[in-house]
Every structure is written in C-alpha cells, then in structure tokens.
Amino acid sequence: MQLYRSLPAPVAVVVLLGVLLAPPVAARQATPSASAATEAIRVFLDCNTFCDFDHIRREITYVNWVRDRADADVHLIITSQNTGGGREYVLRFIGLRGFQGSDDELRFATQQADTEDDVRRRQTQRIGLGLTRYAARGGLADRLQVSYTAPAGGTAGQTQQPKDPWNLWVFEIGMRGYFSAESRQKESHLNGSVEVSRVSEKWKFRSEIEASRSHNTFTLEDEQEFKSRSSEYGWDGLLIRSLSRHWSLGLETMAKRSTRENYDLLLKVEPGIEYNLFPYDQSSRRQFVFIYSAGLNHGNYRDSTIFNRLSESRPIHRFTIAGAATQPWGRLESRLVASTYLDDWSKNRISLFGFAEVRIVRGLSLNIYGSYARIRDQLAIPKADIPDEEILLRLRELQTSYRWDLELGLSYTFGSKFSNIVNPRFNQSPGS
C-alpha cells in the first residue's frame, strides 16, 4: 500500500482498483514445452507466508525448482490468512508454457497449537498433491505413484466427521520478557497477553488483554543515574457479523492506559459496516473493501493537555478504503484512512499506507514500503514541557503535523536457473 505514497491518495486507490479489476490474460492451449516432455517439470515457488523452502526441496525431488518465473512450467503462489484458531493456507498452481490453462487451487487450515514442523509437513504434502497433475504429464510420469494411508482403525474411502469439544473457541495466553545489561546501561521489558477468539461462517469474535512494562537505567558521565519507566495496559474487542458474500457488520471496542500517550483511560466504541468488492472467499488472492464506522471516544488524561483538559468525550467517524492483490507479477497492498471528530472537523487525520513487491523483468524485482499521515487530531499531548531525556528515549508522544516513512529495495539475480540443492553447512556461523 506504500507503492503510491508519492501519488495523491485518490489516484493511488484508483490505480490499485484498476490492477485488481484487470481481466486475466486469456488462457491459450500450447504445445508441451521441451522441459515438460523430456525432463522433470520446472516449478517456481512464490511464497508470501511461512514456507520452509529447504524442507520442500528435500521432500519433493521429482520437479526442478527454478529461481525465476520465466523459466517455470508451473508458478506456485502460497498465501495465508488468519482463521479462528490458526491460519488458512491457499496454494495456487498457475500453468505456464505447455500447461497454460491448467490452473488449480488447494486450501488447508492449521491450528494455533501446530508447530512449524506440523505446518511445513502439511504444506509440503499439499504441494505434492497439487503438482501431481502436472508431473503426470511430464517426462517422469512413469516413475511416479500415489499412495494413501488410512486412518487408524479406518478403511480406504472412510470419511471422518470432526468433533470439536471447544465449539470453535480458541484461547491463547502469552508472556514475554527481555533483559539486557552493559556496564553503564540496563533495560528490561515485560509483556503479557490473554486472547479469546471464535470464528464461524456467520460470526467472528476476538478479545485480547495485554500489559507491558519497561524499565531503563543509564549511568551518566557524572556518575548520576537516570531511570525511566513506561507502561501500557489495554483491552480490545472485535465482533463481526457476516451478512452476505460482500457485506459485513462490525463492532470495535478498546480500553487503554498508557504513560507514553498520556492516557489514564481511553475508551473507544465504534460500530461499522464493510463492503468488499470481491467475494470474501477470494480474500487470499485479492480484496478491495470500503469501511465506514462511527462511534465515541472518551479520554481521561494523566496530565492536563495543551487544550487544558483532563477529561473529554467526542463523537468520531472513520472511512477506510483498502485493497490487496497477490498475483503472478508480485504483491500489492494499499490502505487509505480518513477520520474526524464530529463535533470539531478541524481535528482530523488522513493516513495512506502502501506496499509493493513487483517483478519487473527476469531476475529484477522492486520492493517499496511507505506510509504518510497528515495529523490534526492529537488531543492527549500534555501541556507541561517534556524533559529532553524522555524525548530522546521516546517515552512520551510528541506533537506533530505529519508522519512518514519510506523504504525502497531493488534486487537483480542472474546465473543458474535451478535451485534444487540444499546445503545447510555453516549456516549457524556468525559470519554466514
């Protein structure tokens, strides 16, 4: 969504919409390529989520893995999205050259308690299943066979009806700690969270409580000690009702206490409605959503603000346009958010975020990340002067009229087409 940061926001949204709506290139039947007819098929892996490519290459050895889409017979795109208690992985197989017009898609879901090994084993198994139809038309077809392992106590062809004693409810409890020390500096960070969620076809619910505390101690040149402490406690909740393949209703709530943001208590309640231009079942491939929400913000401040307030309640509304696309040419995300307080339209904020990963030509890729925010709604900035030490350590939020960041990357790869070999020796060396 940062690709078009330099463009006016409406232009960026229109360009993204054009990309999403552009019809696919018409599929045409072609004669099998030389690689498909005489050797193992060539596959280009395009993973936009967790993938253990070393493991995949070790397990699936009946194809040739290539580094560039231009050399492939099959382009495999892997994406994922959150579910109620894990992630749904979507594997899109796009036929190229001699396999044009032979596209396929497989899906599978993982659980929150699954380890990375569980995920990669299931992912590799599904990749192997999806590649079977292409390998069967390749030069190694005579050497392939498909096997089936029946479940314990079951027979081939038996269906298993899942039983869920938790009725789709998922709970997660987490704690993290970070500690570091040098001769003249010490720091510690503690964080804990509890999350409860339930996702069904009609309803989506999530609630999370999180707390964090940080302590830092610095010994200055005159041997004096400077100590800093910051903390944040928060709760947020989300309740969504699916109305159709394109419409949803939602309610977002939040409560927060933050030393950095000068909140003794911040409460937010925002109901809203969302329309997705594409059906929700295509969300892992493309989506373009419009969201409107309106609600109430109430804040109790730790210190008097620049507006001489210790407490206030304000109605607010928000409009969001967001899109995402994962296509053979790369990945693109963009989001435009505009909000304002209904009792004072001069207190507003407009934010634009974008990310793009684009393959320009063979071996040449462009990565762009950027965001920009025009800020006119900082109500909690304290009136009292903030000490220099707290400014340098970013312990307090500062008044600003804008915020932006930009990251650019360009890479070019050339050489051998193939990437079949796995050699992990000395991977753990500090110099690697």
> In terms of domains, do 113 and 238 share one?
no
Residue 18 lies in a domain: no
**CATH code of the domain containing 65:** 3.40.50.10070
Strands 169-182 and 104-111: unpaired
Residue 260 lies in a domain: yes
Number of domains in the chain: 2
Residue 121 lies in a domain: yes
Residue 258 lies in a domain: yes
> In terms of domains, do 128 and 236 share one?
no
**CATH code of the domain containing 201:** 2.40.160
Taking only the tens place, the pLDDT of each residue in 220-252 is 888 888 888 999 999 999 999 999 989 999 999
> In terms of domains, do 235 and 366 share one?
yes
Q: Which of 89, 152, 95, 145 is nearest to 121 (CA)?
A: 89
> In terms of domains, do 94 and 180 share one?
no
Contact 67, 419 (CB under 8 A): yes
User: CA–CA distance from 29 to each of 86, 102, 119 (Å)?
Assistant: 39, 9, 35
> In terms of domains, do 323 and 390 share one?
yes
> In terms of domains, do 130 and 247 share one?
no
> In terms of domains, do 331 and 382 share one?
yes
Residue 87 lies in a domain: yes
> In terms of domains, do 174 and 41 share one?
no
Asked whether residue 122 carries a pLDDT value surpassing 60, the answer given is yes
- Structural domain for 87, as ranges: 33-137
Residue 154 lies in a domain: no
> In terms of domains, do 126 and 195 share one?
no
CA distance 351 to 367: 20
> In terms of domains, do 188 and 118 share one?
no
What tokens does 230 get? 């910051």
Taking only the tens place, the pLDDT of each residue in 40-91 is 899 999 998 888 888 898 889 889 898 888 889 999 999 988 887 788 899 9
Strands 185-199 and 169-182: antiparallel
Categorize the per-residue pLDDT at 174 as very low, low, confident or very high, splitting at 50, 70 and 90. Answer: very high
> In terms of domains, do 133 and 180 share one?
no
Taking only the tens place, the pLDDT of each residue in 131-152 is 988 988 877 888 888 777 776 6
Residue 16 lies in a domain: no
